[in-house]
Structure 1
Amino acid sequence: MDNRLVVTALLVTLSWMCLGTHSTASAMNMTGSMNMTNMTGPMHMTNMTNMTGPMNMTKPMNTTGPPPMNMTQPMPNATATPPPLEPNSTVEALTSTIDRQECRKRQFCAAQPADCDPATSDGCFFFGARRIGGRNFRFTISGDSSGYLATSLSSGNTAGVNDTAYICARGKKAVKFFGAILNKGMFTKTQVKVNRVKARVRNGTIQCTFDVTLPRQQTRATDTSFGLAISTGTYNETSGELGTPVDVLRSGVVDLANTNTTVTNQISNNSTVTAAPTTPTTTAHGVSLQQCLSQALLITLGVVGLALL
């Protein structure tokens, strides 16, 4: 009986295998009704040449809209950098008010004392720079002096070495403007790229505004970053001699194009800072003593426990 069951199972298995093989062969025989080589009738792609009727692409499209742009005409360059200013140091009368209303808005500002307003504060030394375009700026300086008031820009690594200086000197009848190179405490007059110079003296305060093209950088990637100084000194109108400058404000490297810059005066920031007293804390000896007491207590408890047993 067992042999019969084995033989029957084998026969059933072989039958299913034969049926599976036949089904697979029937499904894979697609060369008849699905012969792709016979699809040259309605699916014949060479008949695309007959589509010269409504889809005739040789006929030009009817474009009745605006005429095409003439690309031969140059487009205006909206991002062109303004050229450097033509030097003109003629001084005109200043009639506008110098104040700090545009500081941190459209104008970079530095002052000594910090945040003083030249329109309302006595003894206020002020410098403002507002970008006109590219490397062209409008400078504003104000401060008390019986000789000259100057601002200088340091493009190198050392302040006071080949700095470009802009000087407003107090004459008997009018303010005179000079460009100069400041090197180790001495001015050498030179032509600088400034124009639209305006100045006045009011109650002992020299005030000047002028447009300037910033000098070329020597060591920095940003062409608007400089070390800044405001200084005063004596001026001999007869000889034209400019005395040794005395700095009232000197900063580190600042970006004149960043109107939100906070300028720290390095001259008045050299006071010695005394460290505040500290609160006594637990020493290492105290920690060691606490550990010893804890260990002694544990040993004592262990001994007592053994004695009770």
Structure 2
Amino acid sequence: MERVLTLFVAALMVYMAPGIQGTEHLSFANNTQVSNFTRQSCGVTELCVETPDDCDPAGNSSCLFAAINASIPMAPNGTDLAIKLSGESMGYIGLGLTVNSSEGSTMLFICAQNSSSNGTFFFRTMQRNNVNTTDALTPSERTVTEIRGWVKDKMIRCEFNIPDVNATSTRSSHATTFTILLGTGTFDGNTLSPFNVSLDSGPLNLRDPTSNVVTTTSGRAPTSAANAVLLLLSVLSLSVML
């Protein structure tokens, strides 16, 4: 039987106590739909990361995809992020934000389904140890708003907003460069497994939708055709001079 469950929460402070109970998830509102997940705004208004490269969540169910829209101008205490996350898992998909993926910790935002409870959707905020990556995830208190979720078989899609995101602890100095991690994990009805990273984006400016777009620079090496034209011009110039 097709399972489609949705969730809408207007504003929520998410807190996980040690020992997650799989049935203690957020309340539901049926027939609430998430937005269309496409690449249409990637590199324009949204910073997109995905694996495999350039996959489109609109037509590829195996595409693990995230789109981030950062507020402009900067909010008083940091930037506000609107995030779309899509991928396949019988447990959870997750998006992590970290300053350095090999040091410190990662803020981890998890969209999951409890397959032992008819595939019900739930959302969690956790913290990952970037040094000991096999350690269990730990509870993290972080304000998250406008949470919407959708589950169908293995497919999980969710949207949520994260207010006041700042890569520095100094509120007078706003920084929006983070490494984005995408990955998955399992859920046994009680415990979330360690986060299995599928994509490490490296440092990206979240306020710049083009920060991971490869552009062609004017300083690139000339092509073979360009070299031939330059050689011809130099020969002609020499002939005129003679």
- TM-score, normalisation: structure 2: 0.66
Instruction: State how far apart, in whole Å, the 1-side matches of 2:45 and 2:58 are.
Output: 18
Instruction: Give the Å deviation of 1:100.
Output: 1.4
Deviations 1:29-63 (A, max 9, x none): xxxxxxxxxxxxxxxxxxxxxxxxxxxxxxxxxxx
State the SS of the aligned residue for 2:198. strand
The structure in which a higher percent of residues are strand is 2
Unpaired runs of 5+ residues, structure 2, are 1-9, 15-25, 215-242
The reply on whether 1:198 has 2:148 as its aligned counterpart is: yes
Contact 1:164–1:215 (CA under 8 A) maintained in structure 2: no
Which structure's relative contact order is higher, taking Cα pairs within 8 Å and 6+ residues apart?
A: 2
- Deviation track 1:58-98 (CA, whole Å, cap 9, x = no partner) reads xxxxxxxxxxxxxxxxxxxxxxxxxxx96445465434321
Q: 3-state SS of the aligned residue for 1:258?
A: coil
Equivalent-residue separation in structure 1 for 2:204 and 2:87 (angstroms): 21
- State the distance in 2 between where 1:128 and 1:101 align: 11
Counterpart of 2:109 in structure 1 is 166
Structure 1, gaps ≥5 residues long: 1-84, 265-309
Q: Report which of the two structures shows the higher radius of gyration computed on alpha carbons.
A: 1
Deviations along 1:166-193, one digit per CA (max 9) or x if unpaired, are: 0011123421100111113231122212
Q: Which of the residues 160, 164, 169 maps onto 1:210?
A: 160
Equivalent residue of 2:142, what SS? coil
Per-residue deviation, 1:132: 3.5
1:107 Cα deviation from its structure 2 partner? 0.6
Q: 1:118 to 1:214 in 2, by over 3 A?
A: farther
Is the aligned partner of 1:117 residue 2:56?
A: yes
The 5 A counterparts of 1:1-309 are 87-89=12-14, 90=26, 93-133=32-72, 134=74, 135-155=79-99, 157-159=100-102, 161-171=104-114, 172-173=117-118, 174-183=120-129, 184-185=132-133, 186-218=136-168, 223-237=175-189, 239=190, 241-262=191-212
Q: 1:206: Cα distance to partner?
A: 0.8
Aligned counterparts of 1:117 and 1:96: Cα–Cα separation in 2: 14
SS in 2 for 1:182: strand
Q: Percent identity?
A: 24
Distance in 2 between the 1:95 and 1:255 partners?
26
Segments ≥4 residues shifted beyond 6 Å: none
Once the two structures are TM-superposed, the CA of residue 224 in structure 1 deviates from its matched residue by 1.2
Number of residue pairs matched by the alignment: 177
Question: In 2, distance between residues paired with 1:227 and 1:189?
Answer: 21
